[in-house]
Amino acid sequence: MPDTKKFIENLSGAGKCIGVLTSGGDAQGMNAAVRAVVRMGIYVGAKVYFIHEGYQGMVDGGDNIKEASWESVSSMLQVGGTVIGSARCKDFRTHEGRLRAALNLVQRGITNLCVIGGDGSLTGANLFREEWSGLLDELVQSGEISEEASQIYSALHIVGMVGSIDNDFCGTDMTIGTDSALHRIIEVVDAIMTTAQSHQRTFVLEVMGRHCGYLALVSALACGADWVLIPEMPPKDGWEEQMCYKLSENRADKKRLNIIIVAEGAIDQSNKPITTELIKDLVVRCLGFDTRVTVLGHVQRGGTPSAFDRILASRMGVEAVLALLEASPGTPACVVSLCGNQAVRVPLMECVQMTQEVQKAMDEKRFEEAVRLRGRSFENNLNTYKLLSHRKIDSELPHSSFNVAVLNVGAPAAGMNAAVRSAVRVGITEGHTMFAVSDGFEGFYKGQIKEIKWGDVGGWTGQGGSLLGTKRTLPAKHIDKIAEQMRIHNINALLVIGGFEAFESLLQLVDARSRYEEFCVPMCMLPATISNNVSGTDLSIGADTSLNAIVETCDRIKQSASGTKRRVFIIETMGGYCGYLATVGGLAAGADAAYIYEEPFDIRELQSNVEHLTEKMKTSIQRGLVLRNENCSENYTTDFIYQLYNEEGKGVFDCRKNVLGHMQQGGAPSPFDRNFGTKIAAKAMQWISKKLKEFYREDEGRVFANTEDSACLLGMRRRALVFQPVVQLKDETDFVHRIPKEQWWLRLRPLMKILAKYKTSYDVSDSGQLEHIVRLRAKDVSAI
């Protein structure tokens, strides 16, 4: 079989000109996308042009279209909004405007456009592409361009990236800016919760999103709101009484505050708007609660982009350039999008049509259809919210007589509490009795096990660390005592939330099944570790929060060098032997190098990095950032690297070092971690319920599970959430260094190097297949 691997070295952009523009509403992360397009374009030998002020700049031409240089996109990564400007443009909607735009592009030889914007901007780009040859003919006839020029520039290639905080575009799980907008919303909600708690108030919050309820829905999930109103799912008639009943029930349950989140486009069953004021009046009239309204407005668009948005935009920008290089005259305009954890290309017009169908379905009151069309990610969020928000009265609950224990194992990770809350509430809804184990397996063998009820986990989503308490103790040492506690409390299933220790613990329990029947029960593990070093999953609960802490600190450290010229920072990150935080943090913070255990390095590489930084200091960029994973090398310590850089850089730059330490483990969980923890815990509890029924022995009146598939890890693999038997993951694991043998994020390393101006080999075999949106959705069966 021929080798089908495709490398960046074989793709050349020589002689090509790429124009990059941002259009429509701004979104955090747009600058990261612009930076990636410019640097990747220059890297492959193409010329890249900024088109300032969106389509308006393209129509007006002149200084609005300027060639970009490598240095011109420096320091853009951490800036919100769009540095090259965006404008809504009436002129481009006219044929005359598009004709002027075509002339401006041809004069500069630009036939490749990278458009970062919403569905309107991308639809406009596609129309422009369809009209292109006709526009050139007109320009030839009017004598503004030569026949020869129209031949050379006969095809216009377009690649889109969706930059919109609303996440209202079909065909991608996340649009650039959505995660940052969620960060802003959650920051505000967390702040409001403290004041609401003090005064026993009800807060009604309006969030943006136009006709899409994604921001409202996910922020409601992430903060455990009492009620959410979104346009895709108008509340059923009589919702007013239902809502007021729920608010008063929560107050009776000793909850001192209520949060109601309203999407700005929220409507009722007859398509009438539901406003924040209407809800406030309703609560005051029916319940007499002290109620306040907060409209978040443009705060959601502002601020610095989150780590997720920077990485997403950087990956998309590089992918967009690859798509332009590979485009032929017949290639349809495509959008670079995210499916699960993978960058894919989808035909632009299929996405636009699907997006328009959602609106049509809503206008025609086909609301269930609208939710389905929004995609799996939206649908799963909605189903999880419904599962968790409506507490059923005991008579409505199925009664299972099963006992399920939940525990945290290993180091704390932000988002653990959100997972525990979700597991407890879904378990209760499924009819089980839920037990909480304090302090991991140490608490387990000591008998620190007690029933945990619905109200006990209220307000847990936003709390960092582990409220149950967590220890690194493995069960093997106390296996007989743990078996005894399983018997005493009649535990029929286990949910273990934690990192590498949790994985080892589950393997030990499975191993002990032959000696202790008590462990012949369904067991599920959820990966929760900032190091992201567990086999069987691309992402772990807590890693996103940690990345944001690293990126935020790196931004501040870089800023501290703006007054003092020529400074290089050596920053040490956590992660054990796993280089995930150093690599992905490096990509998000714009690092020049990241040293990790998985990619061995020697003194020659250190030397070439120093020389590279020396060259960089001769340009207008006069600062450097180097990340080092704590265990990347026994001998090349942080001190050694710091001293080497200091010595070799004498007279050119000076050095500072910083060990980030435990601040990477703390803090309130990011929206992504709250959401990820909530969703995978809900899915795990449903799996446990299924397995309990499957392994229940009617004749013996007990649960007996002894198969490999009754002890699983639930992880995210590329596009889907999958349950994998822990025994099968053994072969994929390096137990000495506590890391998986293969790690997907190593493919992002060349990306970081390219964006830092290093010549490197980059395998782009994964790229290039245009996927159709319907097929994409069918495959994406259980994406988050």
* DSSP letter for each residue of 136-200: HHHHHHTTSS-HHHHHHT---EEEEEEB-TT---TT-S--BTHHHHHHHHHHHHHHHHHHHHHHT
- Asked if 482 contacts 496 with a C-beta cutoff of 8 angstroms, the reply is no
Alpha carbon 4 to chain centroid distance?
Answer: 30
The residue behind tokens 């609301």 is 367
CA atoms of 518 and 483, how far apart (whole Å): 6
Q: Where are the beta strands (DSSP E) in 193-333?
A: 202-207, 227-229, 258-263, 291-295
How far, in Å, are 397, 487, 657, 680, 744 from residue 491 at the CA level? 20, 7, 50, 21, 36
DSSP percent split of the chain into helix, strand, coil, nearest 5: 45, 20, 35
CA atoms of 521 and 385, how far apart (whole Å): 28
Q: Which two tokens stand for residue 348?
A: 């632009």
- Asked if 194 contacts 236 with a C-beta cutoff of 8 angstroms, the reply is no
Q: Which two tokens stand for residue 251?
A: 């107050």
- Asked if 726 contacts 525 with a C-beta cutoff of 8 angstroms, the reply is yes
Q: Please say if 766 is a catalytic residue.
A: no
CA atoms of 632 and 372, how far apart (whole Å): 46
CA atoms of 419 and 679, how far apart (whole Å): 8
Q: Which two tokens stand for residue 180?
A: 């940052």
Handedness of CA 573, 574, 577, 580 (dihedral sign): negative
- Asked if 299 contacts 25 with a C-beta cutoff of 8 angstroms, the reply is no
Q: Which among 624, 620, 590, 597 is positioned nearest to 609, based on CA atoms?
A: 624
Alpha carbon 697 to chain centroid distance?
Answer: 42
CA atoms of 483 and 658, how far apart (whole Å): 45
Which of 26, 166, 309, 555 does the annotation list as catalytic?
A: 166
For the chain, state the CA radius of gyration: 27
Q: What is the DSSP letter of 782?
A: T
CA atoms of 550 and 591, how far apart (whole Å): 12
Handedness of CA 387, 392, 398, 400 (dihedral sign): positive
Q: What is the DSSP letter of 271?
A: S
Q: What is the DSSP letter of 513?
A: G
Q: What are phi and psi of 232, to 5 degrees?
A: -75, -20
How long, in residues, is the chain?
A: 784
Calculate helix-pair angle for 178-199, 671-694, nearest 10 degrees.
Answer: 90
CA atoms of 40 and 750, how far apart (whole Å): 11
- Asked if 349 contacts 126 with a C-beta cutoff of 8 angstroms, the reply is yes
How far, in Å, are 60, 396, 510, 694, 708 from residue 727 at the CA level? 63, 38, 8, 20, 7
CA atoms of 207 and 657, how far apart (whole Å): 41
Q: Which residues are catalytic?
A: 166
